[in-house]
Amino acid sequence: MKPENPPGTPYKRNDLEEGRVLYTEDSLELWYRWSLGKYLSKYLEGLKEGRILGRYCKACGRIYVPPREVCQYCFRETDEWVEVGDTGRVNTAVVSYIQADRSRMDKPLIIAVIELEGASKGMGILHRLGEVDPEDVINRKIFGKKVKAVWKPPEERTGSVNDILYFKPVEEV
C-alpha cells in the first residue's frame, strides 16, 4: 500500500530553479568576541607553555581543571594555581562519524572525558583520543586506561585547547 503524503504540497527541484520558492545559498559569516576572563586566559596561556593548570580550593581540597574562580561545593573563591600532569585516565569516550555540519566522516573522531593526574576525581577535560582503535571505544576497553597528551610543537601553539593534538594510550588497551 502506498504511504499517504503528509499534509501540504512538497516542492520539487525545478520549483527552486524556476524561482517559485524563495531560498538563499549564502552562508552567514559571523564574528564575535568573547572575554575569557582571567582564569581561562591563564589556563590557555599555560597550554601554550605545555602546562595544564588548575585551581585549588583549600577548604575542600578539590583541584579544578579547567580552573574555576569559585568552588562549586564551597561557594567561595578558589585559592591557588596548581599544575597537573598531562597524563590521565579515560573516564568515558564516544566514536563520532558525524561532522558539525552533519555530514559523514570516513575516519571517525574519538572524543573522551579525561581525568588528569593531579586533578580531583571526577574533574575531566573533554578532548580527542588518537592512536586508538574505534573498536576499543565501542567495546569499552579504553575506559579507565592511562593516556598522555600529544602536544603541538611549541612554535605552533597558540594558547588554545588545540595546543594538545590528542591524548594517546600509554598502556596496553
The residues that bridge with 55 in the sheet, in sequence order, are: 64, 81
* Contact region with Zn ion (CB under 5 A), list: 23-31, 57-65, 98-106, 164-172: 57-65
**What is the closest distance, in whole angstroms, from the C-beta atom of residue 123 to Zn ion in the complex?**
12
**CB-based contact 163:152 (threshold 8 Å):** yes
For Zn ion, the binding residue among 44, 57, 119, 147 (CB under 5 A) is 57
Any residues with CB less than 8 A from the CB of 93 and at least 6 apart, and which?
110, 111, 112, 113, 129, 137, 142, 143
52 binds Zn ion (CB under 5 A): no
Pairing relationship of beta strands 52-56 and 124-128 according to DSSP bridges: unpaired
Binding mask 58-87 for Zn ion (x = CB under 5 A): -xx----------x-xx-------------
Binding mask 125-164 for Zn ion (x = CB under 5 A): ----------------------------------------
Rg (C-alpha) for the chain, rounded Å, is 23
Order of strands across the sheet that contains 80-84:
63-64, 52-56, 80-84
Alpha-carbon span 78 to 40, nearest angstrom: 14
**What is the closest distance, in whole angstroms, from the C-beta atom of residue 69 to Zn ion in the complex?**
12
**What is the closest distance, in whole angstroms, from the C-beta atom of residue 53 to Zn ion in the complex?**
17
**What is the closest distance, in whole angstroms, from the C-beta atom of residue 56 to Zn ion in the complex?**
9
Instruction: Closer to Zn ion by CB, 34 or 75: give it.
Output: 75
Pairing relationship of beta strands 63-64 and 80-84 according to DSSP bridges: unpaired
**What is the closest distance, in whole angstroms, from the C-beta atom of residue 94 to Zn ion in the complex?**
30
Which parts of this chain interact with Zn ion (CB under 5 A)?
Answer: 57, 59-60, 71, 73-74
